Structure 1
């Protein structure tokens, strides 16, 4: 691919000033800074997914009653998930905006700003009044939340990949994403405890605010840790070589279309599957399955939140293990294997959910999240950073991740509930939907290439 662009310094002169590829075989930072980078990414991911998980769970359980009661049960649920999806619509814009800043000003600054935006918008949800005014404010805060989150994971994965020892990059790059499941687990545990201790009436009356207001604690911890973080060595070397470009996002769109397309498609089964197995399953249990079995919705949604909690806690272990496996056998092999597993798991897992049996629901959610979606995530954390050249890595990762998020995770709950309603509650519709996302991801994998042990100071993309 020709990268000689008016806004891009000549590759030959810049590359001559960068460290040789052999230097990348060693850990580029001290053990203390490596640990700090892991903690920084983990806490940020925990806050992001705590924010998104409590919003998703609240959309499935309470928002239709609090903000959209006049619409009725089904339309209110659709409106709730539409609000949830609005956050994903804002994410690509946040990725475009902050990703470009991250490639021009550094990773640390952006990670501080995004964590503050996400946490503040989530906390404010806890103060909203019910009804129409609250619904409008809810949408605005959700958009702001998504805007801040648009560059958070891209920054965490990029930073971690750039500071990790190259031989173990897959494992170390996946460690911050353990925070995803810490945040997801904390959110589901909070709702699960409230369901068992307080009951549905108290949750609808006032207790739904507790998870949102509590996020202020995570903000303080995250900001304190990130203030102590040092800048990425790869970005420092880029600055030293005077290879920082003025318009990284424009250059990504112009010169890095194939890696962006590959990474975007590769997110469909991972992000879509993660969202489906943690939100749509719960809504399906509380609506379609409860009506079919003639039981209370609260009992089945409680089973769903418990299943999500178990799968989330298991993912704390499985995600870095899959990252480590990608260090041994390659990123593509692990990613392709995860997508094939998800394809085969799709319809059977939804049959399990349709039974309403707690054990089968737990098995379905464990397979879909801890094994299917997060085998792909474990390989993805390092792979996406390795796909892009050093001058616009943050922008490329942010753009691809967030395009994939809005096209899969953002649409998944809304389209899923619509398809289930259209089919009269048929479980296999969601199975076919999940299988389709898996096929799209396999197409993305075919467009990518193996990137294990790639030198992250290189200026070219891995695929052209």
Structure 2
């Protein structure tokens, strides 16, 4: 088979990257408003008021529940994406996320419905998790397969900068909501961001329906036997090592959830820093990340994926401890400096590179399944890290130390897994995921791209 990669019109890579950016921003707006609400209000809305500490633990657990559904969603949506196309799965993920998010905004409180309220909350959260399972893998596959050779990391990074934009939008919406008097916040205020997602979904649907399918996927679709009937079978049989590698590397996502969920709860509920101040830390860090992610991805197109990912993972483990320490001191200046350095800069090195790094481990015919299953199992660990952190944290303002150890250990696992991977930044798109023995000549021919 020729190693030449089918190409799309010049405008298609930019259009695919823009569509992935907008779609991910809108999709993760829905996802992040849940995390913010879980940290700030759900313990008081959906659980008994007699034991605030237990309510906080349970509220953070519902955030993690969404990650339980992700591996299941990854199998289902990965199959659809690898059998029927990337565009179809991206439309379905958007519709499912929007419907489940709006439903959360309509749920009764514990005072109104008793234990039925948290049960319904968990159901909606599971549906959110099913949707998110295929979102980034689908958007990354679409962007990578449209991207020109030698710029795959740059174009796929827009999927991740889109998630940062979604975080900014979600947090910005919550800023005036969080400033409401507590009775208004707990009765109707928290519902507004969830119900507003109807506008988000409508706009995202228009954007995604305008996308073309990728030329690499269409080329394989025309070849007999190129698309397996059951991609999961091929994935497990031929690519299980890379799936395991992605699972372990994806534990670096615990940095994001610990930063945006547990650290927020710790700062507001234990150290008693102002809610709006902590929300602004997240906004500023993600504004910086919007610029840092594509910039660092461009560097990865020149020097490779592994150096940046490993440095970002190890650095994030160290700076997470610094950020939690800064919160414990109550110094607003230190919190802003450490928060921006961690989430805005250092974590962006790993975060901006992994869309290309993981996707390039798999061939076209199982790429979406491989990415979706590998990342979602790893992300499930990250999703439960705020719950684990709440369980292991010590009492008072010094209780952050076990949480820092937890985050550092997960970052170390991610760095070691990435260090064992192949470097793929010079391999042609058509040859990605194939045996190096068969693609070495093709890779050498494109080394100067």
Could you tell me the TM-score, scaled by structure 2's length?
0.92
| Secondary structure at 2:122 match in 1 | helix
Write the distance in 2 (CA, Å) between the matches of 1:177 and 1:327. 16
Q: What's the C-alpha RMSD, in Å, of the aligned pairs?
A: 1.8
Aligned ranges 1:236-251 → 2 under 5 Å = 236-242=218-224, 243-251=226-234
Are 1:108 and 2:87 matched, yes or no?
A: yes
Write the distance in 1 (CA, Å) between the matches of 2:267 and 2:312. 26
Deviation at 1:360, TM superposition (A): 1.4
Write the distance in 2 (CA, Å) between the matches of 1:395 and 1:195. 39
Give the conservation status (yes or no) of the 8 Å contact 1:189–1:309. yes
Deviation at 1:20, TM superposition (A): 2.8
| Secondary structure at 1:387 match in 2 | coil
**Unaligned residue ranges in structure 2 (runs of 5+):** 438-449
Deviation at 1:222, TM superposition (A): 1.1
Aligned to 2:446: none
**Unaligned residue ranges in structure 1 (runs of 5+):** 1-15, 291-298
Aligned ranges 1:191-210 → 2 under 5 Å = 191-196=174-179, 198-210=180-192
Query: 1:446/1:241 Cα in 2 relative to 1: closer, same or farther (>3 Å)?
Result: same
Aligned positions, number = 432
Aligned ranges 1:422-437 → 2 under 5 Å = 425-437=398-410
Q: Deviations over 1:360-418 (max 9, x none)?
A: 1112221221123221011111111111112211100111110110012x111101111
Q: Deviations over 1:127-173 (max 9, x none)?
A: 11101222111110100110011011000011101101111111111
Aligned to 2:41: 62
Aligned to 1:126: 105
Give the conservation status (yes or no) of the 8 Å contact 2:270–2:396. no
Are 1:330 and 2:312 matched, yes or no?
A: no
Could you tell me the TM-score, scaled by structure 1's length?
0.89
Give the conservation status (yes or no) of the 8 Å contact 2:64–2:384. yes
| Secondary structure at 1:283 match in 2 | helix
Deviates more, 1:81-90 or 1:131-140: 131-140
Are 1:416 and 2:398 matched, yes or no?
A: no
Query: 1:222/1:463 Cα in 2 relative to 1: closer, same or farther (>3 Å)?
Result: farther
Give the conservation status (yes or no) of the 8 Å contact 2:257–2:386. yes
Write the distance in 1 (CA, Å) between the matches of 2:67 and 2:434. 27
Give the conservation status (yes or no) of the 8 Å contact 2:13–2:155. no
| Secondary structure at 1:183 match in 2 | helix
Write the distance in 1 (CA, Å) between the matches of 2:303 and 2:429. 19
Write the distance in 1 (CA, Å) between the matches of 2:58 and 2:435. 41
Give the conservation status (yes or no) of the 8 Å contact 1:50–1:187. yes
Aligned to 1:380: 354
Aligned to 2:10: 31
1:311 to 269, 277, 285: 285
Write the distance in 2 (CA, Å) between the matches of 1:120 and 1:347. 37
Aligned to 2:412: 439
Aligned ranges 1:12-161 → 2 under 5 Å = 16=1, 19-21=2-4, 23=5, 28-70=7-49, 72-131=51-110, 132-161=115-144
Give the conservation status (yes or no) of the 8 Å contact 1:258–1:447. no
Write the distance in 2 (CA, Å) between the matches of 1:333 and 1:195. 40
Write the distance in 2 (CA, Å) between the matches of 1:374 and 1:189. 20
Aligned to 2:271: 289
| Secondary structure at 2:271 match in 1 | helix
